[in-house]
Amino acid sequence: MSTRRQRRRLLIDTRYQLRHMLVVLTINLVLILLSAIVVSWFYLFFYKGNMVCDLNRMFPWYMGGVALAVLLLLSLWCLNRSRSVAGMMRKVETVLVKAAHGHLPQEPLVFRKQDYFCALAAPINGCIARIRLQDQQRHATVLALERLQQEIAEQPQDHAMVQQKVATIVSLLKGPHVQEK
C-alpha cells in the first residue's frame, strides 16, 4: 500500500487569511514603531544624543532589518495558523453544500489534529447520520404507502386492514425517536 503525501496549499481562503495577516502585521508594526520611539527617547534623554549612531552608523539599518525579518516571519506564521481555520471551514462548506444537494458523504468528516474547531466533526457527522436515517425512513414509508395503495385497489372493502396499514405507516413516519403524546 503506497502512501502518497498530498501537497498542502498555504492560501486556502485568500480573503480571510490575508485579512487576518494584515491585522496582525498592523498591530506588530505599531508595536515596532512604539518600540523605536521608546528606544530613541531613551538614548536622547539618558545618553545625551545619538551615541549609538556615533558608535555604529549601521545601527538603524540593523534595527530595520530585524523589524523586517520579524514582520516576514510573522506573516508566514499568520498564514500557517489561519490555514487551519480556513481549511477546516472549506471542508465543512464543501460537505454541507453537497449534503444540501442530496449527496451525503460516504465517509465521516475528519479534521487534522492541528485544526481549530475540530470538535465540529462529531456534530456534523451526527447530523449527516441523522439525515441518512431519515432518508431511509422516508424511503420505507414511500414503499409502505405504495403497497397500501395496491392493496386498497385490490380489496376496497377491508377497512380493518387499511386501518392497520395506516397505523403502521404513521409509526414509520414518527420514527423511533418520537414518543406518543
Over the chain (181 residues), the average pLDDT of each successive run of 10 is: 63 81 86 80 62 63 81 84 81 87 86 76 89 86 79 71 75 60 41
Instruction: Give the Å distances, CA to CA, from 54 to 5, 33, 36, 64, 78.
Output: 54, 22, 17, 17, 37
When computed from its CA atoms, the radius of gyration of the chain, rounded to whole angstroms, is 32
> Where does a domain end: 37, 60, 86?
86
Q: Looking at the structure, do residues 117 and 78 belong to the same domain, yes or no? A: no
Q: Looking at the structure, do residues 118 and 149 belong to the same domain, yes or no? A: yes
| Domain that residue 39 falls in | 11-86
> Where does a domain end: 54, 86, 118?
86
| Cell numbers placing 66 | 530585524
Q: Looking at the structure, do residues 31 and 68 belong to the same domain, yes or no? A: yes
- Indicate the number of domains in the chain: 2
Q: Looking at the structure, do residues 15 and 54 belong to the same domain, yes or no? A: yes
pTM of this prediction? Answer: 0.55
Q: How far apart are CA 96 and CA 102, in angstroms?
A: 10
